[in-house]
Amino acid sequence: MPPSRSGRARRPDLRALRAALPEPVRAVVTAYERHLGLERGLSAHTVRAYVGDAVSLLGFVVDGGDEVAELDLARLRAWLAAQQSGGASRTTLARRAASARTFTAWAHRTGVLATDPGGRLAAPRAHRTLPGVLRAGQAGEVMQASAAGAAQRDPVALRDRAIVELLYATGIRVSELCGLDVGGADFSRRVVTVLGKGGKERVVPFGVPAAEALADWIDEGRPKIVAESGGESVEPALFLGVRGKRVDPRAVRRVVHDAVSAVPGAVDMGPHGLRHSAATHLLEGGADLRSVQELLGHATLATTQLYTHVTVDRLKAIHDRAHPRA
């Protein structure tokens, strides 16, 4: 498939492709989807990604006149080669190869495949890069701008300030923030309990500014939103949208974007950028990698180690500017 004008490969309509699969193949996809969601407890977004890759792979196999049981290493490599020809990046190819390995391992365990060809499938190593991060001073200015917006005690502004403060204070993911319930915040210990990837629960601390912003939202802002939305909300969510329902990740991204855009020179970012900024500032402040890994909920230390590149790059830039022999 040719790349789009933006340079990215246009992915086929996977719903249409799934519907066009033979019924026995669709049954395999449905069973795999059930395994990912119910047995492994993956998020809906992750399940969609894994299932989409499985549909793409199985559609490629079936279009080639083969049966699912004939899926082997050569067909897996041919599928990846077709993705590459369509303009997929190294990072995308690496992710889809990993997704294919997950599918073939499951298919072998359940008897769909006699062997597991995915165990021998290699793919280009992904380019692991991080988005831009705020400087510590810029992060402080973002928080000040958010606090200034909440000075008039508008309920939405109070919510937005609490969202920005909590995201930066904890480094939690946007999905984890949106999934928080009122009871998930413990003010006596200043911690929030979040449900991360794979249904793993963890406890993350937050500081005094975030506690104050959260208290203002819970005591003043949230009750007004509930009242204005037509009465007592049935949602236990900590953060609500203007209609009294659990806040949507897209709304949180707009909140962060607007807060960051108020600071001249700050790189444009969403919640993920605040997460990266929090991790970078923790490491720059002397936190050890293991502690940051636990706070962020990373499955492996290798993911957390990416942030050391950011801090080293900053140190090198400072050295180049300040040292007379640089």
Q: 77: exposed, middle or buried (C-beta count within 10 Å: 0-12, 13-18, 19+)?
A: middle
Dihedral angle of Cα 203, 204, 208, 211, to the nearest 10 degrees: -60
Active site residue 309: no
Active site residue 272: yes
Active-site residue identified among 197, 224, 253, 314: 197
CB neighbourhood size of 280 (10 A): 25
8 Å CB contact between 153 and 219: no
- Give the three-class secondary structure for 70: helix
In angstroms and rounded to an integer, the radius of gyration of the C-alpha atoms of the chain is 23
Q: Please give the span between the terminal C-alpha atoms of the chain, in angstroms, as a whole number.
A: 48
List C-alpha distances in Å: 93 to 84, 90, 190: 7, 5, 41
Active site residue 50: no
Nearest to 114 by CA among 72, 62, 53: 72
8 Å CB contact between 163 and 239: yes
Active-site residue identified among 224, 245, 253, 272: 272
Active site residue 173: yes
Active-site residue identified among 159, 161, 173, 281: 173
Nearest to 166 by CA among 205, 130, 196: 205
Active site residue 275: yes
Active-site residue identified among 159, 275, 276, 281: 275
Active site residue 32: no
Active site residues: 173, 197, 272, 275, 298, 307
